[in-house]
């Protein structure tokens, strides 16, 4: 097949995406496919080679890259780079790639692509919308509140105090439409000043901010492949906060696959992952993140429609434990898509 691996883009998760793009390219080439690497950040001049996309994922992209216009994406899709392509293997994370925008452009041009379609991508990327969907289907998710920058909520002292009182515990503050913990803060003893500061930080990445009750417990994630849940992974970061540094710096986090859970809890979490995947209408694969409290109750945090995809990322790790090597995983995702 002629496959376009789409990676990079103009989100804060650009560098992580490039690492996954390189890994997928090598895997697909090992299976005999003809692979073209495409980075939409470069507009119509978007075809890259392996040397051009090799980068350290622990480094955030420059503001110059992040401020590039969305028009670059459209120029890329409409360029000759997609001529004779059978399918696009999507590995762009975050906004302008994982949120349905790029998927819609590909559909308009008639290009097939991997993973979830436009609506499911948009719903999963919108943390507030996805929590509403999950709550409607009785999938446990942490209690939450919303603050909107454009409405002046960050300066509304009465509102901030009401949020602190109602949620009554440690808080997690994060942009509504980012991944990789970009712009996220955990407040163990929140007050109005610290909450406002966290909202301002998150507000540099999004207008709507999600404020969740922090669930004390264990960090779990479950990959869904087709209609099947792969082995549960427990994530144990040094220092207890699985932030951007811990995600992408070697040695900062330990992973236990399969997680040391009872058979009942394992099965329950896996079934919840499949339910969350289906509630949002996801296609082919996803990764569903959970917090497991001290009473062994799992709370679903979010669904990632284009999860990290280097050969050592969590979805490939779970697939390998299940007996699926990385190249075969790439093939299965293409077939399921």
Active site residue 13: yes
CB within 8 Å of 269: residues ≥ 6 apart: 220, 222, 232, 261, 290, 292, 298
Active site residue 308: yes
Active site residue 332: no
Q: What is the largest CA-CA distance in the chain?
A: 61
Active site residue 94: no
Out of 21, 115, 183, 308, pick the active-site residue: 308
Phi, psi of 107 (to 5 degrees): -65, -40
Active site residue 138: no
Out of 15, 176, 180, 310, pick the active-site residue: 180
- Identify whether 258 is preceded by a cis peptide bond (ω within 30 of 0): yes
Out of 8, 289, 313, 337, pick the active-site residue: 289
Active site residue 289: yes
Out of 14, 72, 218, 287, pick the active-site residue: 287
Out of 13, 39, 212, 243, pick the active-site residue: 13
Terminal-to-terminal C-alpha distance of the chain: 14
Closest by CA to 14, choosing from 212, 175, 179, is 179
CA torsion 37-43-44-47 (nearest 10°) is -20
CB within 8 Å of 252: residues ≥ 6 apart: 237, 238, 245, 246
Closest by CA to 211, choosing from 158, 148, 156, 155, is 148
Alpha helices in 280-325 (DSSP H): 314-321
Q: How far apart are CA 319 and CA 230, in angstroms?
A: 6
Out of 11, 121, 208, 304, pick the active-site residue: 304
Out of 248, 275, 310, 313, pick the active-site residue: 248
Q: Which residues are catalytic?
A: 13, 180, 248, 287, 289, 302, 304, 308
């Amino acid at each position: 097949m002629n496959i376009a691996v789409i990676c990079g883009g103009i989100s804060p998760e650009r560098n992580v995406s490039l690492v996954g793009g390189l890994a997928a390219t090598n895997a697909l080439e090992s299976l005999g496919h003809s692979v073209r690497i495409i980075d939409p950040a470069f507009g119509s001049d978007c075809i890259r080679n392996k040397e051009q996309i090799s980068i350290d994922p622990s480094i955030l992209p420059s503001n110059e890259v992040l401020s590039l216009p969305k028009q670059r994406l459209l120029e890329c899709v409409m360029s000759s780079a997609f001529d004779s392509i059978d399918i696009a293997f999507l590995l762009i994370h975050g906004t302008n790639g994982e949120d349905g925008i790029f998927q819609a452009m590909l559909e308009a041009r008639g290009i097939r692509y991997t993973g979830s379609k436009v609506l499911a991508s948009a719903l999963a990327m919108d943390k507030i919308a996805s929590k509403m969907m999950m709550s409607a289907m009785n999938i446990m998710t942490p209690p939450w509140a919303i603050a909107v920058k454009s409405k002046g909520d960050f300066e509304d002292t009465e509102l901030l105090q009401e949020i602190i009182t109602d949620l009554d515990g440690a808080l997690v503050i994060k942009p509504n439409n980012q991944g990789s913990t970009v712009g996220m803060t955990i407040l163990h003893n929140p007050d109005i000043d610290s909450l406002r500061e966290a909202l301002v930080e998150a507000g540099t990445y999004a207008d709507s901010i999600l404020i969740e009750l922090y669930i004390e417990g264990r960090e779990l994630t479950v990959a869904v492949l087709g209609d099947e849940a792969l082995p549960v992974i427990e994530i144990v970061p040094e220092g207890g906060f699985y932030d951007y540094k811990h995600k992408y710096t070697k040695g900062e986090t330990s992973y236990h696959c399969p997680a040391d859970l009872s058979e009942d809890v394992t099965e329950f979490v896996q079934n919840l992952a499949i339910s969350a995947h289906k509630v949002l209408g996801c296609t082919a694969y996803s990764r569903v993140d959970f917090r497991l409290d001290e009473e062994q109750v799992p709370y679903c945090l979010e669904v990632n429609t284009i999860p990290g995809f280097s050969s050592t990322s969590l979805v490939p790790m779970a697939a390998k434990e299940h007996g699926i090597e990385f190249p075969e995983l790439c093939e299965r995702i293409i077939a399921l898509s």
